[in-house]
Structure 1
Amino acid sequence: MPVIDDKGRLFGKINIIDALAILFVLAVIVAGVALVTGGDNSTSKTSTQTVVFDIGQQPQYIIDAIEEGSVEKEAIVAVKNKTVIPAKRTDIPLNCTDQVRLTVALTVSETADGLPMFKGERLYIGRQVRLDLWTTIVNGTVVTLRSQ
């Protein structure tokens, strides 16, 4: 028994054109399911990293609102340390400090290449990140990355 007979039927049962159409429809369905469910996601595992952020000049009420300790909001685990360097120049307003640095524990995912991702974007030194710390929201620049 030939694979394709003289009438163009596969194993004498189904037309080869119909078989190809069925395979195409199945491939489209599988691709659609993979797209909707996420398929092969490039982020493979999560870990906790300690990141130091420079949040720059901040009014005293913002500094007071940032509490050290557990945050458990989104991917922010905890504020480990808040370092305030007092202003020494006279051109800075009295209610602001010269520099504030936060040491924060973050839950990050890693790409297949081992690069850290935070909130769906790559985490690297110099990146601006918005941090929601429950009591306040601040923007900071990544200064240091450390794995825990």
Structure 2
Amino acid sequence: MIIDKKGRLFGKVSIIDVLALVIVIAIAVFVGGKFKKSDTGSPFTQKEDKIQIVYVIEELRDFVADELKIGDPARESVYKASFGNVVDIKRDKSVSWVRTNQAKLIKSSKEGYSCVYITMEGTGIYGDNGVTIGSGEYFIGQSIVLNIGKTQVYGKICDMKKIG
């Protein structure tokens, strides 16, 4: 008999012990999966690439845009990852979306605001799944807060590529 009168498997191990062991193994597998390394690479295992990132802010107050300068250092605010230095700034009319009475969205602009494209060059690990800079992973379309020079801005990454 596999289970005896006392509820033990083969007369030695209780079913409760087996269930407890299965639960411990399941928890270990779950926790191990949470701490699995990302596949974009690690600064300790891969050589860093020179990268160019273009960041867009569709509605930025003009007084903030006036403070952005070529050469300013750019740093992401959560992981403090350095995005390098600003190499180009392009300003255009701000981009605002307004709903009409017919429930259609139309593109317009606001006075006192600009749409700003900021190009930065720095180092990171460029991979198929985005760019790793320091301990942060970044992707096209991702919204992040950057500290650039004396400013702090909220926008999206609209392009990134490996250069040089």
Provide TM-score, normalisation by structure 1. Answer: 0.56
Aligned residue in 1 for 2:151: 136
More helix by share: 1
| CA distance in structure 2 between the aligned counterparts of 1:83 and 1:66, rounded to whole angstroms | 8
Aligned residue in 1 for 2:71: 68
Query: How far has the Cα of 1:72 moved from its partner?
Result: 5.0
> Given residue 116 of structure 2, which amino acid in structure 1 is its aligned partner?
V
* Pair member with larger Rg: 1
More strand by share: 2
Matched residues, percent identical? 19
Which of 97, 118, 125 aligns to 1:102? It is 118
| CA distance in structure 2 between the aligned counterparts of 1:109 and 1:32, rounded to whole angstroms | 28
> Given residue 76 of structure 1, which amino acid in structure 2 is its aligned partner?
S
Q: Secondary structure at the match of 2:66?
A: helix
Cα distance change of structure 1 residues 109 and 20 upon mapping to structure 2, 3 Å threshold: farther
Note if 1:14 corresponds to 2:13. Answer: yes
Q: Which runs of 5+ in 2 are unaligned?
A: 43-47, 94-108
Query: Does the CA-based 8 Å contact 2:74-2:146 persist in structure 1?
Result: no
**How many pairs were matched up?**
135
Aligned residue in 2 for 1:39: 35
Cα distance change of structure 1 residues 52 and 110 upon mapping to structure 2, 3 Å threshold: closer
Note if 1:59 corresponds to 2:62. Answer: yes
Cα distance change of structure 1 residues 71 and 124 upon mapping to structure 2, 3 Å threshold: closer
Cα distance change of structure 1 residues 30 and 65 upon mapping to structure 2, 3 Å threshold: same
Mapping of residues 74-93 of structure 1, within 5 Å: 74-85=80-91
> Given residue 136 of structure 1, which amino acid in structure 2 is its aligned partner?
T
| CA distance in structure 2 between the aligned counterparts of 1:86 and 1:30, rounded to whole angstroms | 53
Query: How far has the Cα of 1:140 moved from its partner?
Result: 3.1
CA RMSD of aligned residues (A): 4.4
Provide TM-score, normalisation by structure 2. Answer: 0.52
Query: How far has the Cα of 1:12 moved from its partner?
Result: 4.7
Q: Which runs of 5+ in 1 are unaligned?
A: none
Query: Does the CA-based 8 Å contact 1:81-1:103 persist in structure 2?
Result: yes
Aligned residue in 2 for 1:115: 129
| CA distance in structure 1 between the aligned counterparts of 2:138 and 2:74, rounded to whole angstroms | 22
| CA distance in structure 1 between the aligned counterparts of 2:52 and 2:137, rounded to whole angstroms | 17
Query: Does the CA-based 8 Å contact 1:76-1:105 persist in structure 2?
Result: no
Query: Does the CA-based 8 Å contact 1:75-1:106 persist in structure 2?
Result: no
